[in-house]
Amino acid sequence: MNIIIPRPPREIIDDVISSNDLFPNNSRYPLLIYRQTFTFRNEPAQDIQQFLHQNGWINSWVDGIYDYHHYHSNTHETLVIIQGNCQLQAGGEKGRIYYVSQGDVIIIPAGVSHKNMDSSYDFKCIGAYPVQIDYDMNYGKEEEHPQVDINIKKVGLPEYDPVFGKEGLIFSYWK
């Protein structure tokens, strides 16, 4: 395994994304984007997945981001952009659009809807979760409620920041 060393983010975006129509989002924990936290030089995706796993973020995958609004009510999610760039909309149809690119890390609280609005042809990210759980898929439909609202309230703080571990930056924003 290559040694992967994150650097302090060039910028941290923290946005609380409140309920938007049938997307519950999360008024307790903000969406976080750590800008330019990694510099990748042909590291295999498995090495990055192992790095996340060492920080307690597991059940990872390598792919893109769905081009439709979806969210997980039973867990938080982190996305590490390993190639290309993407316009990520968070919060549902009326949500804000964030431009993310290689080296950025996005930490999405349980309940926050996200969608790939547009991306480069080579866009690729790694997704991971802070607990060993089969994450649920929700789409902003009326029949998802009230169960998703109950689930979101049950999801507490992760044990580790996906990038910076036990004393990570996430704990300055999520309390």
- Give pLDDT tens digits for 53-94: 999 999 999 999 999 999 999 999 999 999 999 999 999 999
User: Which CATH number is 98's domain given?
Assistant: 2.60.120.10
Task: Answer whether residue 2 is part of any domain.
Answer: no
pLDDT in tens, 136-163: 999 999 999 999 999 999 999 999 999 9
Q: In this structure, how many other beta carbons lie within 10 angstroms of the beta carbon of residue 74?
A: 19
What's the confidence (pLDDT) of residue 152? Answer: 98
pLDDT in tens, 110-127: 999 999 999 999 999 999
Structurally, the chain folds into a number of domains equal to 1
Neighbour tally for 173: CB within 10 Å: 15
Say if 6 falls within a structural domain: no
Domain assignment of residue 151, yes or no: yes
What would the pLDDT profile of 10-51 be if each residue is shown by its tens digit?
A: 999 999 999 988 999 999 999 999 999 998 877 789 999 999
Say if 66 falls within a structural domain.
yes
Residue 1's pLDDT is 61
3, part of any domain: no
The answer to whether residues 144 and 138 touch, using CB atoms and an 8 Å cutoff, is: yes
Is residue 38 situated within a structural domain?
Answer: yes
Judge contact between 24 and 74, C-beta under 8 A: no
pTM above 0.75, yes or no: yes
Per DSSP, the residues of 38-85 read: ---SS--HHHHHHHHHHTT-EEEEEE---SS-BB-SS--EEEEEEESE
- Provide the pLDDT for residue 54: 95
In which domain, by residue range, is 98 found? 11-173
The whole-number pLDDT of residue 41 equals: 77
Instruction: Let me know if residue 119 belongs to a domain.
Output: yes
81 lies in some domain:
yes
